[in-house]
Amino acid sequence: MVSQNPIKIEDDRTGLEIQTLRRAILDNLFYIQGKFPEIATKNDFYLALAYTIRDRLLQRWLNTMQTEIKNDVKKVCYLSAEFLVGPHLENNLINLGIAEKVKQAVTESGLNIKELIEAEEEPGLGNGGLGRLAACYMDSLSSLEVPAIGYGIRYEFGIFDQEIKDGWQVEITDKWLQYGNPWEIARPEASVTVNFGGYTEPYTDGHNQFHVRWVPGYVVKGIPYDTPITGYKVNTVNTMRLWRSEACESFDFQRFNVGDYYGAVDDKVNSENITKVLYPNDEQIEGKELRLRQQYFFVSCSLQDMIRIHLLNNPNLDNFHEQWAVQLNDTHPAVAVAELMRLLVDIYEYEWGKAWNIVEKTFAYTNHTLLPEALEKWPIEIFGNLLPRVLEVIYEINRRFLDQVRIKFPNDDGKISTLSIIDESGERYVRMAHLACIGSHHINGVAELHSQLVKDTILHDFYLLWPQKFTNVTNGVTPRRWMVQSNPRLSKLITSKIGDGWIKNLQELKQLERYAEDQTFRQQWREAKQFVKQDLANYIQEKVGITVNPESLFDVQVKRIHEYKRQHLNVLHIITLYKQMKSNPNLDVPPRTFIFGGKAAPGYFMAKRIIKFITAVGDVVNNDGDIGDRLKVIFLPDYNVTFGQRVYPAADLSEQISTAGKEASGTGNMKFSMNGALTIGTLDGANVEIRQEVGEENFFLFGLTTPEVLTLKDQGYVPRRYYHSIPELKGVLDLIASGFFSHGDPELFRSIVDNLLYDDPYLLLADYKSYIECQEKVSQAYKDQENWSKMSILNVARMGKFSSDRSIQDYCNNIWNTQPVSIELKDYVQKEA
Ligand code: KOT
């Protein structure tokens, strides 16, 4: 019996007093890890602490789930094949507002909070920008109290760990689950099944209605694993629900019954393979059948889950689109358009037109790239064999769509072939972007420039058809992880001047502008930067054994390795500087430390060679006695979220040097700038808007613009002309070609040099001169530390626009039409004295 007036005692699972926290950690160590402190490992203590924190968010989490299910509120479903969330522990401490208390409890228990936080293995369930964006959006959805579920795949092995051996990238399997994951809760009771293969057949039901039945070749079970996503200082804790595949018992039994033991085990292995591993390609599709299986698997699981939840409180699916706003994170989940149609028509027996009306009002699609090699298309053969019924549904969507096209553009077969979902120009393919466009009420790019290019180029004909569908939502990043968590010193300094309102409303950083003129503040600003630079210098010493000068200019480029991102242009600058220093030992430039980080797709030859190029140039430069610490080149292995948190705060200069028109947005550019780095960049992606916001005098701009790139290519770009007309450039390329950076072997980097001289698809040689000149301006500017600090402060003060809270607000207002819901805390567990 619960008494009328229960005397509250501190519950071990919810209490926040120091004594209670200490007891709870020991309890979890004993009862969950089965260890005494004397024999516990660091990981045991980490897990004990993580469970202690999880206990403290469960009430909010369950209340959020209950509210979202019971109340008549529209929910956002973010469908994404990747969620690169990063470590949870510290982020949860910050969002729950208990970081200080927990630190004290941990310290008083004789433990080191920093070490425990660092013991967490990050879930690498994404490749780069696209997956990390999904994670920032989940943080903002919760912080803005928007009801939301992030649906994705629980890969057993995430993005590979990168080691550097002899200067080359080596890939190591990411066994992120091996020591346990305290943040997830499996919900096997909410499992669903997904069909694959087989064939379809027509049938007539008892009411003489015509239907189609999918007789699958095999059926796979999807089991959801839930991870809480806390909001910053609100009660909302949304759910990230990731699916794991497993064999269906019924299928095992069939095989066992006929004595086919190995066949049954085979089925099991095949089913479990679906969610085994993340495809490690960023913006490069491989076209493997297993990838399509992954996509359909998680999409079908997620839609069935939404329908199940919907039917808990609604008599039917007529109002599905009023309750669910489903966002397609690129085309990876685009098969959802056809799958929801299939579920509505085949399973829930909706008439086609009525079903299509629901579907069209449910989905919206975000495009993240214009690169042709990243546009997903599936050979009809593969698609039809794997998903025969889904392909039929796509054909029917396409047939009806093309009828509409014929009305809008009569007698224009050109339009039919450019707009059709099916590419029939050679081998036949399903174009996933077309399916996404047709099934969505809104289509957005991720920065102003990119959204314009989407309309002008790859989706131009769709734009002519439906201009009102197209819009822009400029990307953003969460200031909780990327400022408060990763740069506590700078954050505290900012808060000491303008209060802490900026953490929730980043536009408040504007109030910092006036401190740019305050000399004492500038000094404090530099000290905050210097502290993290020293910290990074120590880390570099420890990781790669190279001593760097913490006073030098930290020039950083961290991101996936890709030719269009032009890490090798950065290297051309390094070699230029090196040559200048060698020929003029008194060259008056500030010392620089170049820091690189990033993974290459395992099958991407040029990207892997660029890593070797960076490390080889580093070997020469770093060991040249004439150069000393005036120039260092560091490649830090295994760039990931955790390392990003270390490196963004320590940067002086942020390299955002992609060929104009190629980087859809970029989000690292925002993280650097928020932490006081100045940007050297092209007019590409969100750089354009960053420069607009921070002011052109606080941004180092170089390079061709997008229209200039297009014109140059149209006119027939001849890179050798630049080689012959710029002596400095010729000197650099000749030096590489001579084998100077490869122990005399001219072959090692021939592919890079030849690519630049004879093809240069990303126009490095065309932008070289402008880049070098701009870098000279950077060096000059860095000499005036007072002015540099002013620019740095103004950069941070003007970054308000790039909070993911603003992006999510844009999505809510312009695309999803969703409202926030505040979560009331109700006790589930009440204790009597
Ligand atoms: C495409 C195919 C497979 C895996 C990843 C992609 C991908 C990644 N497409 N775009 N991106 C990046 O998305 C980020 C978030 O919007 C952008 O900031 C970045 O410019 C894209 O390259």
Q: Please check whether residues 101 and 177 belong to one and the same domain.
A: yes
Q: How far apart are CA 311 and CA 290, in angstroms?
A: 32
DSSP 8-class letter at 125:
B
**Domain total in the chain:** 2
Distance between CA atoms of residues 658 and 648, nearest Å: 18
Q: What span, in angstroms and rounded, lies between the C-alpha atoms of 825 and 823?
A: 6
Token representation of residue 123: 């879930």
pLDDT surpasses 50 at 416: yes
Q: How far is the CA of 22 from the centre of ligand 1 (A)?
A: 43
Same domain assignment for residues 466 and 505: no
pLDDT number for residue 199: 98
Pairwise CA distance, residues 796 & 676, whole Å: 6
In a domain, 33, yes or no: no
pLDDT band of 71, cuts 50, 70, 90: confident
- Which ligand 1 atom minimizes the distance to the CA of 475? 16
Percent of the chain with pLDDT over 90: 94
**Same domain, yes or no, for 433 and 496?**
no
Check whether residue 132 and residue 165 sit in a common domain: yes
Q: How many CB atoms lie within 10 A of CB 89?
A: 21
Q: How far apart are alpha carbons 485 and 135 in whole angstroms?
A: 15
- Ligand 1 centroid to 112 CA: how many Å? 37
Q: What percent of the chain has pLDDT over 70?
A: 98
Same domain, 259 and 137: yes
- Domain membership of residue 264 (yes or no) is yes
* Same domain as 773, residue 635: yes
- pLDDT tens, residue by residue, 110-162: 999 999 999 999 999 999 999 999 999 999 999 999 999 999 999 999 999 99
Give the domain extent around 621.
Answer: 487-801
Q: Whose CA is nearest to atom 1 of ligand 1?
A: 283
Contacts of 305 (CB under 8 A, 6+ apart): 151, 190, 192, 224, 241
CATH number, domain containing residue 771 = 3.40.50.2000
> Percentages helix, strand, coil for the chain, rounded to the nearest 5?
55, 15, 35
- 450 lies in the same domain as 572: no
Ligand 1: which residue has its CA nearest to atom 15?
A: 130
CB atoms within 10 A of CB 517: 10
- Which residue is closest in CA terms to ligand 1's atom 18? 666
CB 418 within 8 A of CB 402: no
| Domain-embedded: residue 425 | yes
Closest ligand 1 atom number to CA of residue 446: 16
Taking the centre of ligand 1 as the mean of its atom positions, its distance from the CA of residue 242, in whole angstroms, is 20
Give the Cα separation of 274 and 272 in Å (integer). 5
* SS3 category, 217: coil
- CA 456 to ligand 1 centroid distance, Å: 19
Residue 107 domain flag: yes
Q: Which atom of ligand 1 is nearest to the CA of 81?
A: 4
Average pLDDT over residues 649-658: 99
Do the beta carbons of residue 439 and residue 363 sit within 8 Å?
yes
Q: Which long-range contacts (CB under 8 A, 24 or more apart) does 523-528 make?
A: 524/493, 525/490, 525/493, 525/676, 525/789, 525/792, 525/793, 526/785, 526/789, 528/487, 528/489, 528/490, 528/493
What separation in Å is there between the alpha carbon of 140 and the centre of ligand 1? 19
pLDDT one-digit tens code per residue, 666-708:
999 999 999 999 999 999 999 999 999 999 999 999 999 999 9
Tokens representing 286?
Answer: 């491989």
CA distance 323 to 325: 7
Q: Which residue, by CA, sits nearest to atom 6 of ligand 1? A: 283
Pocket test for ligand 1, best of 368, 376, 377 (most atoms within 8 A of CB): 368
For residues 443 and 505, state if they share a domain.
no
Ligand 1 proximal residues by C-beta, below 6 Å: 127, 129-130, 133, 282-283, 330, 368-369, 374, 446, 475, 663-667, 685
**pLDDT band of 5, cuts 50, 70, 90:** low
Residues 20-65 have pLDDT tens digits of 999 999 999 999 999 999 999 999 999 999 999 999 999 999 999 9
Amino acid found at 115: E
pLDDT at 2: 47
- What pLDDT is recorded for position 196? 97
Verify that 460 and 509 share a domain, yes or no: no
Instruction: Indicate if the pLDDT at residue 272 is higher than 50.
Output: yes
What would the pLDDT profile of 715-726 be if each residue is shown by its tens digit? 999 999 999 999
Domain-embedded: residue 20: no
Q: Is residue 477 part of a domain?
A: no
Pair 793, 688 in one domain: yes
- Positions marked active-site: 368, 559-560, 565, 667, 671
Instruction: Choose the residue to mutate in 130, 292, 682 for probing ligand 1, maximizing ligand atoms within 8 Å of C-beta.
Output: 130
Centre of ligand 1 from the C-alpha of residue 368, in Å: 5
Among candidate residues 472, 502, 520, the one where a domain is terminated: 472
Look-up: residue for tokens 């005397």?
Answer: 7
Distance CA 462, CA 401 (A): 12
Q: Which atom of ligand 1 is nearest to the CA of 368?
A: 10
User: Residue 832 — pLDDT band, cuts 50, 70, 90?
Assistant: very low
Ligand 1: atom nearest CA of 450 is: 20
Give me the pLDDT at residue 8, please.
59
The residue from 417, 448, 472 where one domain ends is: 472
> How far is the first Cα of the chain from the last one, in angstroms, to the nearest whole number?
12
Domain-embedded: residue 510: yes
Residue 39 forms part of a structural domain: no
- The token duo for 521 is 């503040």
Q: How many CB atoms lie within 10 A of CB 480?
A: 26
Q: Is the pLDDT reported for residue 828 higher than 70?
A: no
HEC states along 606-652? Answer: HHHHHHHHHHHHHHHHHCCCCCHHHEEEEECCCCCHHHHHHHHHHCC
Reported as a single tens digit per residue, the pLDDT across 432-490 is: 999 999 999 999 999 999 999 999 999 999 999 999 999 999 999 999 999 999 999 99
Q: Is the pLDDT of residue 521 over 50?
A: yes
Query: In sequence order, what are the residues at sequence separation of 6 or more whose Cβ sits closer than 8 angstroms to the Cβ of residue 826?
Result: 63
- Asked whether the beta carbons of 187 and 65 are under 8 A apart, the reply is no
CA of residue 282 to ligand 1 center, whole Å: 7
1 confidence band (pLDDT: 50, 70, 90): very low
Instruction: Report residue 252's pLDDT band, with 50, 70 and 90 as the boundaries.
Output: low
- pLDDT digit string, tens, across residues 768-823: 999 999 999 999 999 999 999 999 999 999 999 999 999 999 999 999 999 999 99
The confidence band for 70, taking pLDDT boundaries of 50, 70 and 90, is: confident
Ligand 1, atom 13: closest residue by C-alpha: 130
The pLDDT value given to residue 60 = 97
Same domain for 171 and 227:
yes
Q: Are residues 623 and 497 in the same domain?
A: yes
